[in-house]
Structure 1
Amino acid sequence: MDLKAKYTQFIKSEAKRLGFLSCGISKAGFLEEEAPRLENWLKNNRNGQMAYMENHFDKRLNPTLLVDDAKSVVSLLLNYYPEKEQNPDSYKISKYAYGKDYHFVIKDKLKELLFSIQENIGEVSGRVFVDSAPVMDKAWAAKSGLGWIGKNSNLLTQKIGSFYFIAELIIDLDLEYDHAVTNHCGSCTACIDACPTQAIVAPYVVDGSKCISYFTIELKENIPHEMKGQFDDWAFGCDACQDVCPWNRFSKSHKEPLFNPNPEILSMSKKDWEEMTEETFRVVFKDSAVKRTKFQGLQRNISFLKK
């Protein structure tokens, strides 16, 4: 076995040991196919008030501008599908926010992976990324054969659907590269039909400025009045397009103890949400991604949902 193959095998087995669902590797370089798509998406203001999406356009498309002498993009998936879901008579939060904030959980695993590579392979430098820099994670994961981009613009896989996080390790080491897989959405339009705000404006095109996740997390001002009655009780994020995806019939619950929810999150009723104090918010969502919207933001979202 040559060194490239040996190193590749080592990285993939380490990723598995650390609990990642799968690992795919691509040659670092300019994302030619993505460039015009991203340009169009921004030109049509699909990013709403997410101005940061317009920054670092070149870096977003080319990881060699993020990491000196980058050779490989190692893409990793980490499952977050929960064993149990919220009380049905409740305001809803995205499943990814049930447990500890994924940024911390994944970053620790990625740092351990990089350390292990350096310890076993030698002088390898690189950076770890979890939503923390302008990296087009879904595009890299698809290029690395981990799944295909679905009509709801999420990465889909035949075996396990789409309830997982995507992260990257960009390193200056040549490895064996994987190939993209074929698209298996076919003529299905379940996600387009189910989107409560019609944010999937065309197959494979999501208008971020119409998405419930945008309104409940990213938008800092009041939610526009014309959206009233369209949120289907989502108070933080939205899983509507994933919940109806036929491939998510194959989702299996995660094995990451840090993603286990605070039992209170699952049992709370609408009344509990409406009467929540800032103190309770701090306790219940201590390490959760829900903290991103802050107590005031969550209050705004809930009062908007109240009939």
Structure 2
Amino acid sequence: MINNKTKYTQFIKSEAKRLGFLSCGISKAEFLEVEAPRLEKWLKNNAHGEMRYMENHFDKRLDPTLLVEGSKSVISLLLNYYPSEFQNEDSYKLSKYAYGADYHFVIKDKLKSLLHCIQDEIGEVGGRAFVDSAPVLDKAWAAKSGLGWVGKHSNLLTQKVGSFYFIAELIIDLELDYDTPVTDHCGTCTACIDACPTKAITEPFVVDGSKCISYFTIELKDNMPSEFKDKFDDWMFGCDICQDVCPWNRFSKPHNEPLFNAHPELLDMTKKDWGEITEDTFKKVFKKSAVKRTKFSGLERNIKFLKK
């Protein structure tokens, strides 16, 4: 006879699938012992650059029970964003995750639906949803719950679908059956390290965020550093180089989430169009997009830097 813990675990995983998540793994909510010294060293080396928010809530980043009172389980979920259509080849490049609607809102809605389903089925279950906007080490939790392994480029990888997906969590006060980590399948491959034009992957599994093209084009508020001139490979928002060269991403399949489909104009725009982009066009093309984070002025700055 199936006990309640197993029954609830199976229910949660089947509901996650129904809501469109790629996969679902569950870990015990506890202190991340292995990650603690790594995070401390990364911060001491100033690898977060101007992302000072990474210094905040150090303890909460490592212990979900400090984030959600009485929490017992971390439910990790993956949502595919790999597109079926891509930008014009003669275009400044945008990271694939930003083609469609802002993932924060899309995923938050799905997580809330999942939590409501859990509460309707099981009863009073407390919890919180997290999508990349709170101090949660999402890749560590996803790896801990067997959804993949952290690759040399520091992204989560799976053998079946590569790495083009979002990671999100539900942290709840219900004990469940827990999954176990999978083995690392990067082997001797160094494709991501070799391909990074700014040498941001300083050693296997360690990314210096302050040298990453994504950091420069999204997080950095100052002027672009001149020493990286001609090293951006036409990326104006984010960067996918380390993922594009990864052999495991040969297995990426297009997503089936309509909200992640790109605005038609975005796919057709050329470098000339981007160079002449107006604020009105920006607002129309990126109306509900994560690109709004960099604002029109930020995107304009990035394009000017690429054109010089």
Distance 1:68 1:42 in 2: 27
Structure-1 residue corresponding to 2:177: 176
TM-score (norm 2): 0.99
Query: 1:15-34: per-residue Cα shift (whole Å, max 9, x none)?
Result: 00000000000000000000
Matched AA of 1:227: F
Distance 2:291 2:69 in 1: 34
Distance 2:266 2:158 in 1: 28
Give the superposition deviation at 1:151.
Answer: 0.1
Distance 1:132 1:245 in 2: 26
Structure-2 residue corresponding to 1:39: 40
Query: 1:93-123: per-residue Cα shift (whole Å, max 9, x none)?
Result: 0000000000000000000000010010000
Distance 1:73 1:183 in 2: 21
Map 1:98-109; keep pairs closer than 5 Å. Answer: 98-109=99-110
Q: What SS does the aligned partner of 2:91 have?
A: coil
Structure-2 residue corresponding to 1:97: 98
Q: What SS does the aligned partner of 1:215 have?
A: helix
Q: What SS does the aligned partner of 1:74 have?
A: strand
Structure-2 residue corresponding to 1:6: 7
Structure-2 residue corresponding to 1:293: 294
Q: What SS does the aligned partner of 2:6 have?
A: helix
Matched AA of 2:29: A
Q: What SS does the aligned partner of 2:185 have?
A: coil
Give the superposition deviation at 1:232.
Answer: 0.2
Structure-2 residue corresponding to 1:22: 23
Give the superposition deviation at 1:305.
Answer: 0.3
TM-score (norm 1): 1.00
Distance 1:143 1:21 in 2: 17
2:133 counterpart of 1:132: yes
Distance 1:264 1:191 in 2: 31
Distance 1:132 1:219 in 2: 17
Matched AA of 1:30: F
2:111 counterpart of 1:110: yes
2:85 counterpart of 1:84: yes
Distance 2:19 2:31 in 1: 29
Q: What SS does the aligned partner of 2:197 have?
A: coil
Distance 2:247 2:44 in 1: 32
Structure-2 residue corresponding to 1:64: 65
Distance 2:14 2:207 in 1: 35
Distance 2:285 2:57 in 1: 36
Structure-2 residue corresponding to 1:262: 263
Query: 1:159-207: per-residue Cα shift (whole Å, max 9, x none)?
Result: 0000000000000000000000000000000000111111000000000
Matched AA of 1:141: A
Distance 1:231 1:33 in 2: 33
Distance 1:290 1:72 in 2: 33
Structure-2 residue corresponding to 1:149: 150
Distance 2:196 2:227 in 1: 16
Q: What SS does the aligned partner of 2:128 have?
A: strand
Paired positions, count: 307
Give the superposition deviation at 1:226.
Answer: 1.1
Query: 1:113-153: per-residue Cα shift (whole Å, max 9, x none)?
Result: 00010010000000000012100000000000000000000
Give the superposition deviation at 1:13.
Answer: 0.2
Matched AA of 2:47: R
Q: What SS does the aligned partner of 1:304 have?
A: helix
The alignment-based identity, stated in percent, is 78
Structure-2 residue corresponding to 1:194: 195
CA RMSD of aligned residues (A): 0.4
Structure-1 residue corresponding to 2:122: 121
Query: 1:234-288: per-residue Cα shift (whole Å, max 9, x none)?
Result: 0000000000000000000000000010011111000000100001100010001
Gaps of 5+ in 1: none
